[in-house]
Amino acid sequence: MLEMAVLAAFLAFCRIGACMMLMPGLGSARVPMQVRLFLAVSVSLALLVHLWEAIAPHVSRPPSELLLLIASELALGALIGLVVRFYVLALQFIGSAITMLSGFGMAAADVAVEENNPQPAMAAIISLAALMLLFALDFHHAIFRALIASYELAPVSVLFNPRSALIDLSDTLSEAFFVMIRLGSPFVAYAILVNLAVGFLNKLAPQIPLYFISLPFVIAGGLILLYFGIGTFLALFADGFIPTTLGR
């Protein structure tokens, strides 16, 4: 009985732990590896009570089949985590684009919120604000509910399907791209209008370096646009989280 409980807990940890290691926030590079491992083990043991009937009948299989189940569970958990992370990565992309469009492209890059790679300061602020909003709206609870529901949609006995996983990932990338384009469209329109205006003015007075003179005003306009639009920006980002990632 003890051996069955340990194997069932390990199978639950494979799917839940793989998801938590890749999901945004808890899987961030800012969180120490020991803390992430402790959280994954804790959540796996807590959810095992609800998943016992779905996992326990499969732990008595031969070792060769158990290895296949372990690999399948790891892949399924990674799929759920990647689907959520792709949505946040799309936000980081549009945040970097907004930084460039607002004239902050020449500013020094800072450390990103999720990874150790450098990221512009404005993009880091947008990413951090969006991530904190998702935590405030209990998005991690939605991921845990999706993990429990995944045992009905993809039982332990059904092995990982790479084709279906690639379709889910590509659909998530496509929908997240369109969501982020809509969120960044005011800044795209602002950059086009400002650059056209500066270009016309530069043609009228070619002796004056209007591009360098106009840069502070372009940055100020971008900051004003971000100030008045950040509330709606974050609200639309939060509204699109479930339909784009876990609601498919």
Number of domains in the chain: 1
Cα(114)–Cα(119) distance, integer angstroms = 10
Q: Which has the closest alpha carbon to 197: 205, 118, 242, 129?
A: 205
Query: Amino acid identity, residue 51?
Result: L
pLDDT for 131-147, tens place per residue? Answer: 889 889 888 888 888 88
Cα(86)–Cα(93) distance, integer angstroms = 10
Cα Rg, the chain, nearest whole Å: 23
CB atoms under 10 Å from CB of 187, counted, come to 21
pLDDT for 11-29, tens place per residue? Answer: 899 999 999 888 888 888 7
- Contact call for residues 88 and 131 (beta carbons, < 8 A): yes
Cα(235)–Cα(136) distance, integer angstroms = 12
Q: Based on the number of CB atoms within 10 Å of its own CB, is 69 exposed (0-12), middle (13-18) or buried (19 or more)? A: buried
Bridge partners (DSSP) listed for residue 110:
119
Q: How many CA atoms lie within 13 A of 127 on its CB side?
A: 30
The pLDDT profile of the chain, 248 residues, written as one tens digit per residue, is: 677 888 888 989 999 999 988 888 888 877 888 888 898 999 998 888 888 888 888 887 787 888 888 899 999 999 999 999 999 989 988 988 998 888 776 665 666 677 777 778 888 889 889 988 988 988 888 888 888 888 888 888 888 888 988 998 999 999 999 999 999 999 999 999 988 888 887 777 777 777 777 888 888 888 899 999 999 999 999 998 988 887 66
Structural domain boundaries enclosing 32:
2-244
Tokens of 71: 């690999």
